[in-house]
Structure 1
């Protein structure tokens, strides 16, 4: 059994605990939290498992890493604290752990990551012998391994489009939804996530990964953005009210240009309520879905709708993204120490988990 730590218990961390507990090769040995109110609470309770794991959460990072766990699922956010996330992750790598995380966007395409991010990770690997694999909760698999797999089913490929389509009214991350993405803000507010070049910083690496796998060169990466206001005030269970006239929906594309044409596209269609921008792409039902469209011959369209924590497809998307990371841990433990990306780490079957219940 691989001794494994989950660091963080928010939207991603809850799914990570459940995924680690379900994996027959992993042993959850510690859960790290930042919020003093969570210290001492049982990991099963924090994860919403419905039963106790008899493992109290702790904020003692030093003690947890001193025990030399083999793996760390770093589930704390890096959205508004990238420097702290990098410091945490390199600390775990120096302790000899394999680390998987969605927190550092620029490392999706680790080969082209900026030196100020890549060099500290490589130094930590050389010092401690650990490894790092970063894949997104957008979800990473929907913008790299899934479209690449599907592309191999056709004769010709003209355009690969990867879509995330979500209604975030049930999402429990108010700071990201309101301030990073701008939902509920005046229409003249510039959300940090939509500022020029930021979408490219976050999703450009996945375009480069696809281009590398397909054997093409990108001329450039372009961005397009559209925003719509709410027609009426709406109320959410987790984040309160969003006023009429404020931002209610965002649609943007990050386009990989090949020979002057947008051939690789990552598109996000995000709403705070289904009534906003009804003419934009919508999920087949529920809160959201991820979709890959291969324009070519034949035309291929695959939609993935995952649910978790009840019928919440926002949580379902997190769960599948986390599953990609957690299910890579045993492969990484067997591999040489290093910095890996989605083209390095295979997507494998859920061996040993068919019909296996958590409890």
Structure 2
């Protein structure tokens, strides 16, 4: 069994605890938390399971890493603390851990990552013998392995579009939704996540990774952005009230330009209420979905819907992102130490997990 630690117990961390417990090759060896109120609470409770696991949460990073766990799922946020997240991950890799995380956007495609970031990880790998695999929480597989797999089913490919279409009213992360993305803010507010160049910083690596896999060169990466205001005040189940006249929907694209045309596109269409921007693309059932469209011959469209935590599409997206990461741990543990990407790490069947008995 591979002793595995989960660092963070928010939206991603809860799913990570469940995924580690369910995996037949992994053993939950520890849970790290930042909130003092969570210290001492059982991992089963923090992970939303209906039983205790006998693993109390701790805030003592030194003690957890000193116990030399083989793997670590870094589920703490990197959205507003990228430098701290990188320092945490490097520390864990240097201690010899196989680390999987969605927190470091620039390392979705290590080849194009800033040299100082890549070099810091590679130095930790050389010193401690650990490894790192980064895949997106939005979820990463929808912007790399799934479109690449589907592209291989056609005879010709004219372009690939990866869409996230979501109602954010079920997404229990108020700081990200209200302040990073700007939902409920005045229309003159400039959301940090939507500022020029930021979408490219976050999703550009996935475009470069797809281009590399497809054997094409990107001429450029461009961004488009559209925002809509709420026509009426709405109240959500998880995040309270959003006033009329404030931002209620966002649509943006990060476009990989090939031969002067946007051939590879990652598009997000997000709302705080389905009444806002009804003319924009809609999910099949109103809650949320991820969609891949391969234009060519034949035209192929694949839509993925995932539910978790009580029929919650946002939680389902987190869970599938975590499933990709946690499912890679045993492969990484058997591989040579290194810095890996989605083209390196295979997406494998859920061997030993069909019955779900470990849940």
Q: TM-score range by the shorter chain?
A: over 0.9
- Determine the C-alpha separation between the residues in 2 that align with 1:238 and 1:46: 18
Residue equivalent to 2:172:
172
Residue equivalent to 2:225:
225
Alpha-carbon deviations, 1:330-353, whole Å to 9, x = none?
A: 000000000000001000000111
Alpha-carbon deviations, 1:173-222, whole Å to 9, x = none?
A: 11100110000001011111010000000000000011000000000000
Residue equivalent to 2:49:
49
Residue equivalent to 2:128:
128
Alpha-carbon deviations, 1:286-341, whole Å to 9, x = none?
A: 41000000111111000000000011000000000000000000000000000000
Residues 286 and 313 of structure 1 are in contact (CA less than 8 Å); yes or no, is this contact kept in structure 2?
no
1:96 positional shift: 0.3
1:23-172 correspondence runs (5 A): 23-172=23-172
- Determine the C-alpha separation between the residues in 1 that align with 2:286 and 2:268: 17
Residue equivalent to 2:192:
192
1:271-282 correspondence runs (5 A): 271-282=271-282
- Determine the C-alpha separation between the residues in 2 that align with 1:354 and 1:225: 42
Residue aligned with 2:270, SS: strand
Cα distance change, pair 286–309 in 1 and its aligned pair in 2 (3 A): farther
Residue equivalent to 2:349:
349
Residue equivalent to 2:329:
329
**Deviates most, 51-60 or 17-26:** 51-60
Residue equivalent to 2:13:
13
Residue equivalent to 2:309:
309
1:356 positional shift: 2.8
1:224 positional shift: 0.1
- Determine the C-alpha separation between the residues in 1 that align with 2:46 and 2:275: 33
Residue aligned with 2:356, SS: coil
1:159 positional shift: 1.0
Alpha-carbon deviations, 1:229-281, whole Å to 9, x = none?
A: 01111112221111110000000000000000000000000111111111111
1:355 positional shift: 1.4
Residue equivalent to 2:358:
358
Residue aligned with 2:357, SS: coil
For structure 1, list consecutive stretches of 5 or more residues without a partner in the other structure.
none
1:132 positional shift: 0.3
1:116 positional shift: 2.0
Residue aligned with 2:203, SS: helix
- Determine the C-alpha separation between the residues in 2 that align with 1:239 and 1:39: 25
- Determine the C-alpha separation between the residues in 2 that align with 1:287 and 1:97: 37
Residues 70 and 96 of structure 2 are in contact (CA less than 8 Å); yes or no, is this contact kept in structure 1?
yes
Alpha-carbon deviations, 1:101-131, whole Å to 9, x = none?
A: 0000000000110012111111111110000
- Determine the C-alpha separation between the residues in 2 that align with 1:112 and 1:351: 33
1:196-215 correspondence runs (5 A): 196-215=196-215
For structure 2, list consecutive stretches of 5 or more residues without a partner in the other structure.
none
1:232-243 correspondence runs (5 A): 232-243=232-243
* 1:216 counterpart = 2:224: no
- Determine the C-alpha separation between the residues in 1 that align with 2:319 and 2:353: 16
Residues 186 and 247 of structure 2 are in contact (CA less than 8 Å); yes or no, is this contact kept in structure 1?
yes
Residues 289 and 306 of structure 2 are in contact (CA less than 8 Å); yes or no, is this contact kept in structure 1?
yes
- Determine the C-alpha separation between the residues in 2 that align with 1:8 and 1:269: 28
Alpha-carbon deviations, 1:15-41, whole Å to 9, x = none?
A: 000000000000001000000111111
- Determine the C-alpha separation between the residues in 2 that align with 1:276 and 1:138: 21
- Determine the C-alpha separation between the residues in 2 that align with 1:301 and 1:98: 35
Residues 234 and 243 of structure 1 are in contact (CA less than 8 Å); yes or no, is this contact kept in structure 2?
yes
1:358 positional shift: 2.8
